[in-house]
Amino acid sequence: MSKKNISEDFIDGPVFKKDDKITTSAEVSEQEFKGDEWTEVFKTIGIAFLVAMIVRTFLFEPFNIPSGSMKPGLLVGDYLFVSKYSYGYSQYSVPFALFPFEGRINAVEPKRGDVVVFKLPTNTRTDFIKRVIGLPGDTIQMIGGRLYINGSRVEREFVKKVDTEKRVSPYLTVTASTSEYIETLPNGVKHTIFEDSDNGPLDNTNPVTVPEGHYFMMGDNRDNSQDSRVKEVVGFVPFENFVGRAERLFFSLDEEAHIWEIWKWPVDVRFSRIWHKISP
């Protein structure tokens, strides 16, 4: 009587036949496990994306500084957090607003001296960052490089002469001398400004009165800033256009460096600026 060799025919556990291919229960369990793994991965990614969008929409949004208009306080290559809740919410402060609305929800009035990111009134797809100088009803004027608010000259104290880099074209940067001052606004807020001279194109202006619901914004680098003094570009900024208040730097990279060159970070990162407070 011949013996039957079962080593090739015996399969441990029940079998499933599908399209003439035999699959063991162990293989089915492994496939189900892999499917569950991918489900969990996509679920985790989805939750992380949702949390990030909630934080970006209602709490903090990151921005970077592309120009020197806010020197010396903010430098090209600075990365900062803007608080979205400081002034309430508008159609311009909420990314991807599905239902545009007028005005602000939970509005809180900005303070003079706040550094604010806002949508450019002449092009709401463009973000600008400037300092709040004039409040609704204020009269603002520049005379001989000095700032006047409601007829009173704003005090400034000379600090020192500074050599600073000035970009005159996308391909050319030159070194120029400027003066550094500490300016004290009427509410006591002190901040540092740069002034190349007191006879620049924006150093003498006609008096203007800020309309209700609008603000007069200026860059700290006074002779190198397009701000509310240039009405064709910025002019008075509606409160509705405010995105949020600049709070703190979370990263800072040398102007000529590239953020993707991680191997150069030990030299290019400006570590002393990280977590620097911005608005008063």
By CB atoms closer than 10 A (0-12, 13-18, 19+), residue 246 is buried
Find the catalytic residue in 69, 86, 225, 252.
Answer: 69
Backbone angles phi, psi at 47, to 5 degrees: -65, -45
Tell which residue, 248, 210, 258, has the closest CA to residue 115: 248
Find the catalytic residue in 71, 84, 119, 130.
Answer: 130
SS3 134: strand
Q: What does the block give as tokens for 50? A: 């949702």
Cβ(213)–Cβ(63) below 8 Å: no
Backbone angles phi, psi at 84, to 5 degrees: -85, -20
Determine the Cα angle at 87 with ends 86 and 88, to 5°. Answer: 100
CA distance 112 to 241: 17
Question: Alpha helices, DSSP H only, in the chain?
Answer: 25-58, 265-268
CA distance 25 to 92: 56
Catalytic residue check, 130: yes
Residues with a catalytic annotation lie at 69, 130
